[in-house]
Amino acid sequence: MASREDKQMVVVDGSEGREYNRIESGPIFSPDSKDVTYTAKRDNKGFIVKNEIEVADFNSSRISLLSPDGKKVAYICEKAGKKSVIFDGKQGKEYTKVTKLTFSPNGKRLAYSAWYDDGMCAVIDGQEQQQYKWVMNITFSPDSKRVAYSAGAAEEYNEQFVIVDGIEGKRYKSQDPYVICEFSPPFFSPDSKHIAYVVEMKDKSWVVLDEVEGRHYDEIRKKTIGGWDNWDKSLAFSPDGKIAYWAKRSNMWRIVVKGVESEDYWEYLENSNLVFESPNFLHGIAFRDWEIMRVEIQISEN
């Protein structure tokens, strides 16, 4: 995507596309790499653009989202101060506010957060879920069959829990109303069988895998970008569902995998990932004794 003055455009193989006020979703390449699709907005009107041809348009003053396969679009419309979602040509229920449109990986399912005057709920496949004070981080599993999200029953963020397939997990609550209980987004394993998330409360952090708590540490790896926590590289799953992460204790970092700790290191390389090269072998990059080193871990089946 590129911009010129107050216009935006998509550039493919060096060729500029049409100019719009905003490119909203995409561009997405088709599986055979022959087609490029995106959604864009011009003068409060939305367009689905395929290979620089406007194949469909829709009236929207709000954001739109293109499905991963580039075949469907969802968008938020507003009428008389109320918001609703249009998906597959069908309009959903009106709410005070709608946020975080999320497609499943296969592009067939849609979820979003809906706001009432006194709370929120997740809307999945057009069906309202239980109402809470707030919900966030709606996540589909890789096979698109499962859904998880975080929620809270109190106005303050000192109590949180994760809902997986409609079932509430353990509620974590700080006794001090001024101490935030913070969760990472839920992470599904590649085979969609396992789910994990990070909990931070007071001065401790820990990983919860399939509702089983791991050891408590001083810190679990994360990044802070623009004042917001970013957990994208915090947890690494193997293809068969093993989990690994960097954890800090007594000012030293170590890799934890299957609950077993590696040697201690000064620090991990900020922009590196823990990478499973196979179900039983992973590596990371760390600092120790003023050297950068590759850390390799062979995982025993015992």
Match 């089946």 to its residue by tokens.
301
Asked if residue 212 belongs to a domain, the reply is: no
Asked if residue 46 belongs to a domain, the reply is: yes
Asked if 221 and 230 touch (Cβ cutoff 8 Å), the reply is: no
User: Domain limits at 9?
Assistant: 1-93
| pLDDT value at residue 271 | 79
Q: What is the DSSP string of 49-105?
A: EETTEEEEEEE-SS-EEE-TTSS-EEEEEEETTEEEEEETTEE---BSEEEEEEE-T
pLDDT tens digits along 151-182: 988 766 678 899 999 999 999 887 776 667 78
CA distance 158 to 182: 8
Asked if residue 261 belongs to a domain, the reply is: no
Instruction: Count each helix (H run) and each strand (E run) in the chain, helices first.
Output: 0, 37
Asked if 201 and 184 touch (Cβ cutoff 8 Å), the reply is: no
CA distance 92 to 86: 6
Asked if residue 21 belongs to a domain, the reply is: yes
| Max CA separation in the chain (angstroms) | 63
DSSP state of 45: E
| pLDDT value at residue 227 | 56
pLDDT tens digits along 179-211: 677 888 999 999 999 999 999 888 899 999 999
Nearest to 244 by CA among 204, 300, 297: 297
Which is more confidently placed, 68 or 207? 207
| pLDDT value at residue 103 | 92
Asked if residue 245 belongs to a domain, the reply is: no
Nearest to 139 by CA among 73, 198, 186, 193: 186
Asked if 133 and 155 touch (Cβ cutoff 8 Å), the reply is: yes
Asked if residue 40 belongs to a domain, the reply is: yes
| pLDDT value at residue 58 | 65
pLDDT tens digits along 71-85: 777 888 777 788 888
Q: Which residues contact 101 (CB under 8 A, 6 or more apart)?
A: 63, 65, 74, 75, 76, 85, 110, 111, 112
The mean pLDDT of 273-288, rounded to a whole number, is: 93
Structurally, the chain folds into a number of domains equal to 1
CA distance 112 to 140: 11
pTM of the model: 0.81
Torsion of CA 113, 22, 224, 172, to 10 degrees: 0
Asked if residue 214 belongs to a domain, the reply is: no
Q: Work out the end-to-end distance of the chain between its first and last CA atoms, rounded to an integer number of angstroms.
A: 49
Angle, alpha carbons 50-55-59 (nearest 5°) = 115
Asked if residue 156 belongs to a domain, the reply is: no
